[in-house]
Structure 1
């Protein structure tokens, strides 16, 4: 399964890497190559008054750049199509996106068009429908769940890594990027000795915790066994196994020794400010942060790299996963609403519009049709990581699907457990025993 998926990704990434134009510069700023499309319906009969229709749209807003990119697209679409009104009900709290969607569903406000991340959960619950067949040709081999495509993938998963201040590195006497994890720790010591907080973490937002958690899980677990989740469900492996304990020990020690002490009260949207004001030297995050940092301070010079493991191997987020725009089952019952949603999806992925979205968050396109936008040196590194066959590509703990799907509530519970592990200086093995118990309880509860 792993090799087959990687072969598909190679083809997709090759196409994506050929459609992005890398250009030097330290700011990481981006500029779309084309003007946005109007999205007018060329098939409309001249003089015919379009029927008014409206639908709701829901998406995660934890990352400010992505929220703005989507909101801007929605605004342009409605300006070009005044007969279609889109009500934005994007998630606006620091709670988990899955929990927010479930709450919306419970009160009868599940979005008509929704950014879907937990696809299998909502597909099994009958809340979303398959992606209409006339939209499938827009994309390069989108992932399937139960043999069906449920999403219009908004982008390809891109690597996460260290975004670092070049000035801080220079002042700390750091002249080379790390080739092993131990060398990375040596860098943290030098930064700490120079008087700056080595790392900022937006721990107030639970999703942000996953960046470091999954870095260590991928290094110690998924890089060697991409089917670990299914084996855990079958009780063939355990969170108390040496590899998981080592991963979470590394996590705990990093947070206790090198992360800014206010991490639990720092929001993800504050992390760029920590960097550009010199409060912290580094942030472990994704490519969507490049534009935010450049906008916060166009003169801020920063670099990007993937943190190697102890053996010097590089393992990153990079496999495709079933996520993207999905149409709700309820909305699909209304032909006019469905057609309006399909029109928006086509508008979203038109190269002139899609390039603006991609440039805003430094994302890799998922479409068959070439899309171009200018990228900075940091995004060039990310593209090289994706294209490098020697770099192992993986997924976060909750992004696997099929037999490797974890109980939907476990991810957030686990991240909160690890926050407590750090704060209370807990025993890693004891906490992993708790993880085993909770995982089994959630598997049992979901099977009922």
Structure 2
């Protein structure tokens, strides 16, 4: 594993990990000109250093004129803020994996993708910023779904996943009555984002299902977070906590510890992104894992928050811009790379003609939930995950996660939280 920079030693690490100008260089060798690029990655329990290294090697084997200096963000949750630190120090990497382009593209830091470069993608025009696409839209991730412990459901007398909000509350009450924690959540330490998944799902069912352009309207100042639909979604989250259905111990768990708690049977339901399917299939728990979308009030159709994107963004000022773009495109479209990403991170690849490898039952069930919602017209944006003109203003997502922690801790109600969120929006430069 190559050197990983840490926030704690930022002043030294920035200079040690990435030379000025992104660290790119051009070297004349006996075999011709070799072009170096810097590539910012991140690591999770599913995406370890060995996976990134293997995927990088497949690209450089195909493009031997490109050499890659890999950089690693301190954590998956800090990758966006870390990229901003590198920009501020004049060291923005040439290629960055799964970094939200907002805040970079508007200031001319990123190279856009043209129609020819996007021709292979199923949804080539998602997440535009001022009419241009800056992030390759190669991967769809439902964020979140509700994974559940079938044994604990059966122990509580629950035979099928709930399909309405009332049925979910009834199931949660049955679980609690049996001494079973209904929801396992996270949000501790550097992984504050894990506290927000129930809220994200509720914004999908109660806000985006009715107003898919809610954040576009919020940017225009025609809606507020204190409006009835958003208040309702937030109040449902608060209600789950007040009823004792959300495990407050999650506030001390980082992301890996949260997954471990669910896998060890410390709760019946686990709101998490589709990538959990890879872990559940690779290391099967002692129980069968099922999956369902968070129910709506009437259960008329499944609503699945999802994000399509996740591909690399490219520094417009990269010294070897052509090499950076060729690397990013091949990294995303390489069949073996995508197969590995499916196996390791349960990706739903949004590239035309792509067929995933044979996978396990949790991945297959996850994919089916997504397909059912897609067919029903129930796929909506995932709140906080958007990266286009309909995204949160820079820095506001961190406030969302902090407020989610406050809700789980029982410190704030829906009115307080939504009022604070509106104030944070104005503070970030919004109306």
TM over 0.5: yes
The 5-angstrom pairing of residues 170-185 of structure 1 reads 170-185=154-169
Cα deviation code 1:267-318 (max 9, x no counterpart): 1112232122222222111221122233344654211111211211421123
Query: Which residue does 1:232 correspond to in 2?
Result: 218
- Any conservation in 2 of the 1:178–1:184 contact (CA below 8 Å)? yes
Shift of 1:113: 0.6
**Residue from 389, 398, 410 that aligns with 1:412:** 398
Find out whether 1:345 has 2:326 as its counterpart: no
Out of 314, 325, 332, the position equivalent to 1:327 is 314
Partner Cα distance (1:419, 1:379) in 2: 29
C-alpha deviation, 1:363, in angstroms: 1.4
1:69-111 deviation line (CA, Å, top 9, x unaligned):
4344124445676764322222123754322211121123322
1:301 to 252, 264, 288: 288
Separation in 2, partners of 1:179, 1:251: 17
The equivalent residue for 1:247 is 233
Contact 1:233 1:443 in 2 (8 A): no
Give the match for residue 26 of structure 2: none
Aligned to 1:64: 45
Question: For the Cα contact (< 8 Å) 2:143–2:307, is it kept in 1?
Answer: no
Larger relative contact order (Cα-Cα within 8 Å, sequence gap ≥ 6) = 1
Name structure 2 gaps, 5 residues minimum: 1-28
Q: Identify if the C-alpha distance between structure 1 residues 270 and 82 changes in structure 2 by more than 3 Å, giving closer, same or farther.
A: farther
Task: Answer yes or no: is 1:157 the counterpart of 2:144.
Answer: no
- Say whether the 8 Å CA contact 1:156–1:363 is kept in structure 2: yes
1:383 alignment partner in structure 2:
367
User: Does structure 1 residue 124 correspond to structure 2 residue 106?
Assistant: yes
Structure 1 pair 153/48, CA: closer, same or farther in 2 (3 Å)?
Answer: farther
Per the alignment, residue 271 of structure 1 pairs with: 258
| Further displaced range: 247-256 or 396-405 | 396-405
Matching residue of 2:14? none
Corresponding position of 1:38? none
How far, CA to CA, are the matches of 1:177 and 1:298 in structure 2?
A: 19
Q: Structure 2 vs 1, CA of residues 192 and 443 (structure 1 numbering), >3 Å: closer, same or farther?
A: same
Distance 2:137 2:389 in 1: 21
TM-score (normalised: structure 2): 0.82
**Residue 202 to residue 218, structure 1, CA distance change in 2 (3 Å):** same
CA RMSD of aligned residues (A): 2.8
- CA distance in structure 2 between the partners assigned to 1:315 and 1:185 by the alignment: 18
> What residue in structure 2 maps to residue 73 of structure 1?
55
- After TM superposition, the structure 1 stretch with the greater mean CA deviation from structure 2, 349-358 or 152-161, is 152-161
The corresponding residue for 2:5 is none
In structure 2, the partner of 1:7 is none
CA contact 2:281–2:363 (8 Å) conserved in 1: no
Deviations 1:7-29 (A, max 9, x none): xxxxxxxxxxxxxxxxxxxxxxx
2-side partners of 1:376 and 1:114: how far apart?
Answer: 30
Query: Helix, strand or coil for the counterpart of 2:348?
Result: coil
The question of whether the paired residues in 2 share the 8 Å contact of 1:272 and 1:292 is answered with: no
Match for residue 99 of structure 1?
Answer: 81
Structure 1 residues 216, 297: CA separation in 2 closer, same or farther (over 3 Å shift)?
Answer: same
What is residue 409 of structure 2 aligned with on the other side? 423
Q: Distance in 2 between matches of 1:343 and 1:101?
A: 19
CA distance in 2, matches of 1:296, 1:198: 22
Unaligned 5+ runs, structure 1? 1-46
| Number of residues of Structure 1 aligned to a counterpart in Structure 2 | 394
Report how far residue 114 of structure 1 moved. Answer: 0.6
SS in 2 for 1:135: coil
Match of 2:339 in 1: 355
| Distance of aligned partners of 1:133 and 1:433 in 2 relative to their CA distance in 1, 3 Å threshold | closer
Given that residues 304 and 380 in structure 2 are in contact (C-alpha distance below 8 angstroms), is that contact kept between their aligned partners in structure 1?
yes
Indicate conservation of the 8 Å contact 1:202/1:266, yes or no: yes
Residues 72 and 171 of structure 1: CA distance in aligned 2, closer, same or farther (over 3 Å): farther
The residue number in structure 1 matching 2:71 is: 89
Secondary structure of 2:140's aligned partner: coil
> Is this contact kept in 2: 1:159–1:382, CA < 8 A?
no
